[in-house]
Every structure is written in C-alpha cells, then in structure tokens.
Amino acid sequence: MSFFLKRRGFIAGGISLLAHAVARADPAPVFRFDAIGGGAQIDLSRWRGHPVLVVNTASHCSFRAQLGDLQQFHEAWGPRGLRVLAVPSDDFGKEFDTAAETKAYCETVWGMTVPMSEPVVLLGEAAHPFYRWLRETRGFVPNWNFNKVLLDGAGQVVTTWGAPVKPGSEEMKRIIAPLLTA
C-alpha cells in the first residue's frame, strides 16, 4: 500500500473515531427551575436547539446594571434564537429577602421580561442541581454574582464568563452568534 493510501486510511480512521466519540457524548441532564412568583417551571430541555445564557443575578450587587443589559440582550437576540434565564441568588448577600421583592424590583426598575427563576442556592451541597452539575462536570463554581454560563443547543456548556463581562458584549456576541438558529 502506498504512503498516500496508508495516510488517507489513518485520517479516515481518525475522523471515524471522532464521529463515534461525538455520537456517544452523554446528553445533557434536564434541569428545571421554579419560575419566580409561581407558575410553570422553567425546563431548560424545552429550549433545546437554542443557545441558552444562564446568569446568576442579585438585585443589590454593584453589577446590578447588568440586569438592564440582560434585558436588552434578551430583546435583541431572543428573536434570533437565544434563550436567557436570570437566576437570582443570595449566596453573596446581595439579594432581597423575598422572591416577590426581587421580582418587583427587576420588573419595575429594569423592565425585565427575561424568564427568571425563584432564588436558588449556588454553592455547596445545597446548590441547585444545575450548579452542582457545573461544579462536578466543569469545575465551574460562581465566585460572585452575574456569572454567566452559555449552553449550546444540546444543553452542553460552551463557555462561562465572570461578572465583569456584560451581557451583549462583543465577546459574548462573537461566541453566541454561530450558535443561533434564526
């Protein structure tokens, strides 16, 4: 067999192995969040086929202006296929005492229509299953409010960003744009 044919077979075999590995990738678990103020649960599996941006928020945080950025990003990119979820948490001591206060503040001050969960725990063994999964599979643990997690259309983590990266920043747009379905 010539060198070219041997090399071609090796490359084809490598591609076959890669395709097999991708086909065997474990599906992302199904995560549900209780919607703030009651109502239907937010089931991330219903958003499969779309990129999803999950942001842990806090109303009293110095980064709270990102609530407005998050709303604007949702309005601009939602029609293009991006799904956004705001996940309030008081793990860093910067959220209202009740979900009702959080909801009222976000709607009144920031005009938020972004889907929002009830406040959840992000850290430790009491963490919401989504955040436990991030810790166990990616080693990602939010170290402050307004950490962002981008999931692809299959529910797998694409990347994460810390608090300083604003929703709708050029960095985010560059990574999210190729994932959009519309």
- Which two structure tokens, joined as six digits, stand for 109? 């001050």
Nearest to 138 by CA among 121, 146, 150, 126: 150
Strand order in the sheet with 52-57: 83-88, 52-57, 148-151, 157-161
The whole-angstrom separation of Cα 67 and Cα 166 is 10
Return the active site residues: 61
- Which two structure tokens, joined as six digits, stand for 58? 């806090």
- Which two structure tokens, joined as six digits, stand for 48? 């499969």
- Which two structure tokens, joined as six digits, stand for 171? 């960095």
Task: Identify the sign of the CA torsion 30, 141, 121, 119.
Answer: negative
